[in-house]
């Protein structure tokens, strides 16, 4: 991963270069599926969501990552409202599309050039901007040649509507197909300390090709926040979506919580929370690019921002890696 050091107001700060572009971004961003994502999370409040975005901008959280599927465009609309009151150029704005919704509410995947072009134009309208810093194909469909799909986004980049092109939830073979012409700048896939499959084959390839890797679900559905303990395991009611996540299944849950428990004394050394320690570990990891934890409230966002002051030494970084090896 290419990291660039800048001098700003006399202070040195490290930014991450996005793919092969001239776009650089702070290591800590914001994922916004809890901002307007009423179809994903219960009891979300729009005004609180907008305050989260404003707080992020006020604290130099540059990358704001959203998607059509977060509330079927509602997350984009809320972020667009906030952007209108701020300097658009302070934000590295990323969104995603690929989902086609029928009149009866059925969602299908569509990577055709016409649909992606339409998706970008509609996202621009909802976000109240004339360009996107990053647009991802959110999921691959079954039929569209991936280089053809990315080629449509390249034409939009040449037209000034995009600055960088990404794909999300693509396998290694699909990434190679998508990048046949060298147009892909980012891949956003699942990765966290408990789910590290991406670094086995995909991420080494991306680094060779100078493609940025953006991990999502950095807290592994809250398991990596430190809120649970061996004597305080989570219990879910029937129908809770976490019951479908492998990490929470009975044969894995105790072992996963026990691993996270080992982070608590390390976090205490840095006067940090476990969640802040985890984010600091990601930001020190040379294999991955910007990290985009979510936040439901401004207070949660500010706690995440404090992780930037946690400067892990090499010994503790390696100790954490061994726990989850």
| Token couple for 223 | 């398991």
Instruction: Give the integer Cα–Cα distance in Å for 294 and 177.
Output: 30
Name the nearest CA neighbour of 303 among 128, 92, 61, 64. 61
What is the torsion angle, in degrees rounded to the nearest 10, for the CA atoms of residue 230, residue 43, residue 214 and residue 293?
Answer: -60
Q: Report phi then psi at 185, rounded to 5.
A: -105, -25
- What is the distance in angstroms between the CA of the first residue and the CA of the last residue of the chain? 21
Task: Write down the catalytic residue from 70, 136, 216, 282.
Answer: 70
Catalytic site residue 70? yes
Residue where the block lists tokens 């649909």: 115
Spatial contact of 4 and 17, defined as CB atoms under 8 Å apart: yes
Number of CB atoms found within 10 A of residue 88's CB: 14
* C-alpha to C-alpha distances, 66 to 25, 77, 136, 205, nearest whole angstrom: 16, 10, 10, 25
| Token couple for 309 | 């002051």
**Cα 186 versus chain centre, distance:** 11
Spatial contact of 224 and 261, defined as CB atoms under 8 Å apart: no
DSSP calls for 236-293: --TT-GGGGSGGGSHHHHHHHHHHHHTHHHHHHHTT--HHHHHHHHHHH-TT---B--
DSSP calls for 157-170: HHTTSEEEEEEES-
Spatial contact of 76 and 126, defined as CB atoms under 8 Å apart: yes
Residues known to be catalytic: 70
């Amino acid at each position: 991963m290419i990291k660039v050091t800048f001098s700003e107001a006399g202070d040195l700060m490290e930014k991450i270069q996005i793919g092969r572009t001239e776009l650089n971004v702070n290591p800590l961003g914001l994922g916004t599926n809890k901002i307007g994502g009423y179809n994903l999370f219960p009891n979300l409040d729009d005004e609180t969501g907008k305050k989260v975005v404003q707080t992020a901008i006020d604290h130099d959280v540059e990358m704001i990552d959203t998607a059509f599927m977060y509330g079927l465009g509602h997350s984009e609309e809320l972020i667009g409202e906030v952007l209108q009151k701020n300097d658009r150029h302070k934000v590295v704005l990323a969104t995603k599309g690929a989902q086609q919704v029928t009149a009866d509410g059925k969602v299908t995947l569509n990577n055709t050039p016409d649909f992606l072009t339409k998706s970008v134009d509609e996202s621009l309208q909802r976000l109240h901007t004339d360009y996107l810093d990053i647009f991802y194909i959110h999921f691959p469909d079954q039929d569209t040649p991936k280089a053809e799909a990315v080629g449509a986004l390249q034409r939009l980049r040449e037209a000034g509507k995009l600055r960088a092109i990404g794909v999300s939830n693509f396998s290694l073979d699909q990434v190679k197909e998508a990048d046949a012409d060298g147009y892909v700048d980012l891949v956003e896939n699942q990765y966290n300390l408990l789910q590290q499959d991406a670094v086995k084959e995909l991420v080494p390839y991306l680094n060779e090709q100078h493609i940025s890797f953006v991990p999502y679900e950095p807290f592994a559905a809250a398991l990596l926040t430190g809120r649970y303990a061996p004597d305080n395991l989570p219990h879910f009611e029937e129908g809770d979506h976490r019951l479908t996540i492998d990490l929470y299944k009975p044969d894995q849950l105790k072992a996963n919580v026990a691993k996270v428990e080992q982070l608590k004394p390390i976090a205490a050394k840095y006067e940090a929370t476990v969640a802040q320690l985890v984010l600091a570990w990601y930001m020190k990891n040379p294999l991955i690019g910007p990290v985009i934890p979510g936040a439901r409230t401004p207070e949660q966002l500010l706690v995440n921002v404090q992780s930037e002051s946690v400067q892990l030494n090499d010994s503790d970084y390696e100790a954490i890696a061994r726990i989850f090896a």
